[in-house]
Every structure is written in structure tokens, then in C-alpha cells.
Amino acid sequence: MICDTVGKSGRRIGERQIMEVTPRAADKIYDKIINGPNGIRLRQGEKVVGLCRKVWRIMRRLHPELFDKKHPNPWDDFTLKSRTKTKKHAVTREEVYKFAWGCIKEGRPEPAAVAVICFEWLQRPENVVARFLTWPDYRSKNWPHAVRIEHHKNKALVWHPLEETLDGETIKFYAEAEDVLSHLPKLGVPMIMRRIQKGERKGDAKVWSYPGMEKVVQQMRKKIDGVSKLFTLDACRHGGMTELEEAELTDGQGRALSGHKTAQAYRGYAKETMMRALAATRKRHAHLSAQKELDQQNADGAASPRDEMQTSPTSKTSVRSQG
């Protein structure tokens, strides 16, 4: 796309010499990219600047003879036009399970399982679909009471405990999620697979494509009452991340479940819900009440000795008698 961009002279950017791409030329390329035929593309422009900046640095290091040291990287210190970033939708626990049980009723356990896995165990939907979650990851011989979640994006590996036994009583942390998974047929090693309906391999199983799974989700949400048109697999994961914050976990505890490497990346997922605001308001109110009570105690404690000295007749008599 960058190379095929044509300037005023009619020449493609890809045909130009390195020295021709000055900071001013980079600004013009950026303007042409963001002013596309279908409207403003600010996000596309951000990607172009980031990519060009990185490629320029790599190629200068690999082929220094082609670059003039006095010629700066035209993509450094670049001023991007600001854009309003829309926040992704987050669904609630109630909506996730309403969708899941609706899918199972319609004979579609695969999207039901993916939605629940994204919400409860916070795995990225593209990883769930692309065979990164397998049956050996779920209650394996070595870890019979946990599920293994791999995050391919940052190579993080998280074990989610499924149950705990205390005083002889077993508590299942994800009872309903496991109930949903029990409706999932075992067609191969990957957990999310489907049977081939047509062709020579009819009856065999294969892994879903992500666009194919998204299409089924869109079809199912139209059929199930109580599921909004904003319901997506990505929204399921964002909903699970938001629930972590509503539970008032620390950053460290939340990242132990989500697999994020940094606090900044973790905090970007949780949405500012009324429940989070209510929890913060409760703590704020409790702090103010405790502070008022402490101030009152200090005021009472400071006033009482002076009051006794001024009002007690025995103390005055005692002083006079000693004099």
C-alpha cells in the first residue's frame, strides 16, 4: 500500500530513492494514507508510521552504505493526528451463559465452549479456535484439578485451578463452565473442532477457522433471546477481565489469571462499570467515616482536660490551700 501510493509527480513511492523520502515527504505520504477513498483512516496511518520507522532503522543497520548519516529517519518524531479510541464492548457473566446454553440447545456446542473459555479462563478467542487449547490441557494426569491456558501472543502459560478440597468438601470454581464443556464432542486432540459435512472427507474432523467461528457466533446471537448484537468472543474475554477488577483483585492477582506481562497491558482491558464505581465509593465513604470519627475522638480528647481544670471546684480549693 505504501509503495503503490502515488505522489504529485505521478511516481510511485516504491520507485523513489532513499534520499527522496525526507521528513516533509513522509508527512505527505502519511496524509495520502489517512485520506483514503472511503474516508479518514487514522488507525491505518498509525500503523504505517510505526512500520516505516522500524523498517528504516533495520535497513540502515543492515545496509549502512545506502544511507547518508546526515539524512535522518523521516519517520522519527512524527506528529500523528489524534483520534478518539473506541472502547471494546464487554459482556456480563449472565449474557455469556445465556449465549452458551442457547447454542447448546441449537446443537452448536463449539461456540458455546469458546465463549465460556474466553470469559472464565481469559484465553484469546483466536487461540482457542486455533488449536492452542487441547483436551490434554484440561484435567490432565499431571494436573487433574486444573486447566492449562497458553497465550500465544506473549508466550504466557497460566494454570487455572478448577477445584479445591477443604475439610473433606470439594469446591468447584467453574462448575457451570465445566458443565458446558461436557456437551463438547471429542473429535481430536484440539478441544474445538468440527465435522466436515461435504466432500470426500465427509465425517472427518478439522479445526475451525476464526472467521468461520465468528460467523456462527453472529448467527447464534440473533437466535438467542437476551443476547445483544454487540456480543462477540472478544467481548467475552473483556467481560472476564472486567469481572477480575469488580472482584477487587490486585494487579498481581489479576495478571496471575490473565497472563499479562505488564500492569499497563492488564489495566487496559477492564471496563469502568457501575460495580467497580460502587466498590470504590464504598471504600471512599468508609475512609471518610473513619476519618470523621477519628477527628471527633481527637477533639473530645483535647477538650476534656481543659474543661476539668476550669470547672472542677476541688482543684481550685486544693491550689488555694497549698498556697
Q: What is the pLDDT of residues 56-105, one digit of tens each?
A: 999 999 999 888 888 889 999 888 888 776 778 899 999 999 999 999 99
Residues sharing a CB contact under 8 Å with residue 230, sequence separation 6 or more, in sequence order = 89, 91
Query: Smallest Cα–Cα separation from 267: which of 251, 243, 247?
Result: 251
Residue-level pLDDT at 225: 94
- Res 163 pLDDT > 60: yes
pLDDT at residue 321 in the model: 44
Q: What pTM does this model have? A: 0.69
At residue 105, the pLDDT reads: 96
Secondary structure (3-state) at 40: strand
> What pLDDT sits at residue 70?
83
Q: What are the backbone angles phi and psi of residue 193, rounded to the nearest 5°?
A: -140, 165
Query: Are the CB atoms for 223 and 106 separated by under 8 Å?
Result: yes
Higher pLDDT, 200 or 119: 119
Tell me the three cell numbers of residue 89.
Answer: 464492548
Q: Which of 50-59, 63-72, 278-287 has the lowest mean pLDDT?
A: 278-287
- The structural domains of the chain, ordered by start, are 1-85 (no CATH), 93-274 (1.10.443.10)
pLDDT category of residue 50 using cuts at 50, 70 and 90: very high
Give the highest mean pLDDT range of 20-29, 103-112, 201-210, 241-250: 103-112
Q: What is the mean pLDDT of the chain?
A: 86
| Phi-psi domain of 125 (left: phi exceeds 0; alpha: psi -120 through 50; beta: other) | alpha
Pairing of strands 169-172, 156-161: unpaired
CB-based contact 217:91 (threshold 8 Å):
no
CB atoms within 10 A of CB 247: 12
pLDDT of 299 > 60? The answer is yes
- Residue 305 clears pLDDT 70, i.e. is over it: no
Model confidence at 169: pLDDT above 60: yes
Q: What is the pLDDT of residue 318?
A: 44
Instruction: Report the chain's terminal Cα–Cα distance, integer Å.
Output: 103
Top-ranked range on mean pLDDT: pick from 94-103, 188-197, 262-271, 293-302? 94-103
DSSP 137: G
Distance from C-alpha of 159 to C-alpha of 149, rounded to nearest angstrom: 6
Q: Which residue has the higher pLDDT, 305 or 241?
A: 241
**Which percentage of the chain shows pLDDT scores above 90?**
46
